Amino acid sequence: MNLWQSILEALESLAANKMRSGLTILGIVIGVAAVIAMLAVGTGAQDTITGSISGIGTNLLFVFRSRDDSIRNPKPLTLGDADAIADPFQAPSVEAVAPILDGSATISYGGEMTRATLDGVTPAYFSVRNYTVVEGDYITEEHILGRASVALVGPELADTLFGRHDGITGETIRIEGQPFRVIGVLEAKGGGMMGSQDNVALVPFSTAQTRLLRRSPQDRVDVIFVQAVSADLVSQAANEIADILRTRHRTPIGADDFTVFSQEDFVQTAETITGVLTIFLGGIAGISLLVGGIGIMNIMLVSVTERTREIGLRKALGARKRDILIQFLTESSLLSMIGGLVGILVGWGIATLVEVIAANSGTPFATSIGLDAVLLATIFSAAVGLFFGIYPANRAANLEPVEALRYE
């Protein structure tokens, strides 16, 4: 018996029990679709998160105060530290430095009131963080020197307060009850590591320092953003920053009271987390594919029982054990392959639906179906059909012709 004849006979056998075959295929469809959809969502989440991190700036380094409880009396980061890092003689690999005060505040306009991120920034902040203004002007040195009551707002905050994010330059908002003139609107950046990057208000560093986000000591800063001269010099810049801060803070070796992270560190961490979640989701979805395989075994065992006399007659007419084995393996493989192909289409549809729902909810999310996911689901579904079809096929092939013909 050749392969083509085996396929035709398998199709005739499956067509003779359409309802039973359809339900068995449905189990495989659900399993494959779940695997495809989960891998697509997981990969899309990874791309979205890493893309968001990459979009916050180029060649970027983050300097934080250490949160290690084993370090006694850690010193805070200060404006003096930022100035030292910006010194080209001490850190030649550093291009720009932007210290910030980071907090939150109640912001209101008219009858609208909301809670948003509030950052005190310097003019260097915009180039370092890759922020652009779509309307109005940037915060300048004049604003810093004059402790001006001006603010830049993100588009999400503007929509909340004004119901729009254009034509609002010159309006007056209140931050913690104090009046501030809006001098511009920031370009939308979407979600970030700590939430939305668009629900934010930026004010001059000196204004935040003296009126909104007071710190002790007064020259303390929360984060220092540092931009390296080039991507190749990021590691060198990190070493220069560490050397400067160790000297200024007089910390012993191995007991740094600060942490220097590169943008690449955040990307790698995010990729590791989302990669684990993707594998976890795919594993859970794979369980449903396993259940579908058990369904194939069940239906093939029923088929062997129903066709015992047919098997006996075939063997009595000269059919070999191999012919019977191939016949039933072909049937189980066809069930899984058909279910796998339909499952791929259904999984693609589910992933597209998730993308549409995310876009309509205001959180754009691009799912990604890779060739590796399609091949994995196809090969796995075929393997399931073969694996769970071996026992029923072997049982049919081992039937004795005389006993099979006498079976009622």
Going residue by residue through the chain, which has 408 residues, state the pLDDT in tens, using 9 for 90 and above.
566 666 676 667 666 677 877 777 787 788 788 878 877 877 777 777 666 655 555 578 888 887 766 667 778 888 888 888 888 888 888 888 889 988 888 999 888 888 988 999 999 888 888 888 888 889 989 999 988 999 999 888 888 888 888 888 888 999 888 899 999 998 887 655 455 678 888 999 989 888 888 887 788 888 889 888 887 787 888 888 888 888 888 877 667 778 887 766 666 666 677 777 777 777 776 777 677 777 777 776 777 666 666 666 666 666 677 777 777 777 777 777 888 888 888 888 888 888 788 777 766 667 777 677 777 777 777 777 677 667 666 766 666 665 555 555
Q: What's the confidence (pLDDT) of residue 152?
A: 92
Q: What's the confidence (pLDDT) of residue 307?
A: 65
Rounded Cα gap, residues 272 and 188, in angstroms: 27
Residue 317 CB neighbour total at 10 angstroms: 8
Q: What's the confidence (pLDDT) of residue 86?
A: 86
The SS3 of residue 72 is coil
Q: What's the confidence (pLDDT) of residue 196?
A: 65
The SS3 of residue 277 is helix
Sign of the four-CA dihedral 269, 270, 275, 280: positive
Dihedral through CA 12, CA 18, CA 20, CA 25, nearest 10? 80
Rounded Cα gap, residues 227 and 57, in angstroms: 8
Given the structure tokens 């609107």, which residue do they identify?
185
Q: What share of residues in the chain are helix, strand, coil (percent, to 5)?
A: 55, 20, 25
Q: What's the confidence (pLDDT) of residue 340?
A: 80
Rounded Cα gap, residues 193 and 201, in angstroms: 17
Residue 22 CB neighbour total at 10 angstroms: 14
Q: What's the confidence (pLDDT) of residue 87?
A: 87
Pairing assessment for the beta strands 200-204 and 112-121 based on DSSP bridges? parallel
Question: Which has the closest alpha carbon to 202: 242, 175, 229?
Answer: 175
**Run of H or E including 63:** strand 60-65
Rounded Cα gap, residues 117 and 212, in angstroms: 12
E strands within 66-192? 94-109, 112-121, 133-136, 150-153, 172-175, 178-186, 191-192
Q: What's the confidence (pLDDT) of residue 400?
A: 65
DSSP character at residue 232:
G
The SS3 of residue 49 is helix
Rounded Cα gap, residues 81 and 99, in angstroms: 9
Question: Which has the closest alpha carbon to 297: 337, 341, 343, 333?
Answer: 333
Rounded Cα gap, residues 251 and 70, in angstroms: 13
Which residues, other chains included, contact 337 with Cβ-Cβ below 8 Å and sequence gap of 6+? Answer: 378, 381, 382, 385
DSSP character at residue 187:
P
Question: Which has the closest alpha carbon to 350: 377, 369, 336?
Answer: 369
- Token pair recorded at residue 265: 């560190």
> One-letter amino acid identity for 29?
V
- Cα of first residue to Cα of last residue in the chain, in angstroms, is 27
Q: What interhelical angle do 18-54 and 3-16 show, nearest 10?
A: 100
Whether this model's pTM surpasses 0.75: no
Q: What's the confidence (pLDDT) of residue 233?
A: 80
Question: Which has the closest alpha carbon to 44: 288, 277, 311, 285?
Answer: 277
Helices (H), 106-217: 124-128, 141-146, 155-162, 205-207
φ, ψ for residue 77, nearest 5 deg: -75, 145
Give the rounded distance of the alpha carbon of 196 from its chain centre: 15
- Token pair recorded at residue 334: 């066809």
φ, ψ for residue 396, nearest 5 deg: -65, -40
DSSP character at residue 231:
G
Q: What's the confidence (pLDDT) of residue 204?
A: 92
The SS3 of residue 172 is strand
Q: Are 194 and 223 in contact (CB under 8 A)?
A: no
